[in-house]
Amino acid sequence: MEEEQRRALRRGRPQLVAELQVAPLWEPLEDRGLFTRPMLEELQSAGSRGDQARQLIIDLETRGKQAFPIFLSILQDTGQGGLADMLMEKCQALPAPLQLPDLRPVELELPGEKSTRNVSFPERLSIPVQAESERLQMSPTLAQGSAVDRRNHDLVYQLKAKPCGHCLVLNNVTFSRDSKLSSRDGSDVDCEKLEKTFKAFSFSVLTQRDLKAQEMVVELQKLARQDHRALDCCVVVILSHGCQTSHIQFPGAIYGTDGNLIPVEKIVNYFNGSNCPTLRGKPKLFFIQACGGDKRDRGFVVDCDSPAEEAPAGPLEADANPFQTPQGNADQPDAMACLPTPSDILVSYSTFPGYVSWREASRGSWYVETLVNVLQQCAHTEDLLSMLVKVTNAVAARGTYKQIPGCFNFLRKKFFFMCQ
């Protein structure tokens, strides 16, 4: 969709939310190929007529170049030509978008090596970055008691409920033959470690194993729709194969055992402030052990000393599949609304977008093994972001092939786990 068409939809959204009759639109939207049946069912579950209209307009922005004219045609066909005319007027009245200079990727060569191919970057590649820590002066000495109690409450999420929140673990190990995805040996090791860790942090833990994509959606929606008013936070852990997809905010997508994909954006969006009101203002943490693509990183040589490299105990496996677009009835990866209220959300990825995430059958994945070790050793005294830096540093030092975790942080305060 052209940028002026997107802006026309945004400017016309108040009138569309107030006047758009959505019921006559569902059948032609599916017949004209703008939305699949599962996507329409999800739109219909958004709430009132106005809520459905709002979500439809948001999602429409991502439905491709022909979405705008097709939508106008459907409006005309369903007796809502006035709204179609309004959108055309807003589109034609908009000034031309600012032309930015053409930015091209730089071709890189290693010393003494001829580059054999261009370095390509996926469209809208988002780089996991660590947010700058809040400038809060800590006491140099730590007295006994909870780490949270020793810090300014205005800058720390308060966890007082018991349990403090729900933790959903989705563990996909065995995949259907049609999916052409290998079994994830070692994932049960990860799962067991995570269950024990989050139970020790006073979470109510629910684990679901080997779910198809739609079954994963059902479990995620079920959790998001629960009443969290008596709880203080929420955690979602996903262990599965993954791949790189086009995206708006959060990169990557997760495979169900049937080989269908769920975009990470969609997973996170179920829990944002618009869709999950009882978690507003409360931290929502996502930990994703899955590949971000199929690239393998051999790293680069540094002059400074680095931690000793740890040899793997067995053969390495990757939770990867190449960049692709879901087929069939799976939701398209670019069919997600922009995250409207991303506050209080943190998404921790096991690897950089586009790259594989390594796992050993006997010990589990590098990321989960390191994450659990750091949490167990440091959670009594350190906040989550500080611990994730330790995880990144430790994982980056492992193996001949390299891997570096990262996170998207939209937390407003420091987060300390409730340690018993």
Catalytic residues: 241, 291
Alpha-carbon distance 236 to 219, whole Å?
Answer: 11
Write out the H or E segment, with its range, that includes residue 372: helix 366-378
Please tell me the distance from the alpha carbon of residue 67 to that of residue 166, in angstroms, as a whole number: 39
Strand order in the sheet with 253-255: 261-263, 253-255, 242-243, 320-321
Give the 3-state secondary structure percentages of the chain, helix then strand then coil, rounded to 5: 35, 15, 50
Report which secondary-structure segment, H or E, holds 377. Answer: helix 366-378
Q: What is the DSSP string of 190-236?
A: HHHHHHHHHHHTTEEEEEEES--HHHHHHHHHHHHTS--TT-SEEEE
170 vs 373: CA distance, rounded Å: 20
Cβ(43)–Cβ(20) below 8 Å:
no
- Strands (E) across 13-94 are located at none
Token pair of 391, please? 């995880």
Which residues is 311 bridged to in the sheet? none
Burial 57-88 (b: 16+ CB within 10 A, else e): bbbbbbbeeebbebbbebbeebebeebbebbb
Q: Output the six-digit token pair for 309.
A: 């490299």
If phi over 0 gives left and psi between -120 and 50 gives alpha, with beta otherwise, what is residue 180?
Answer: left
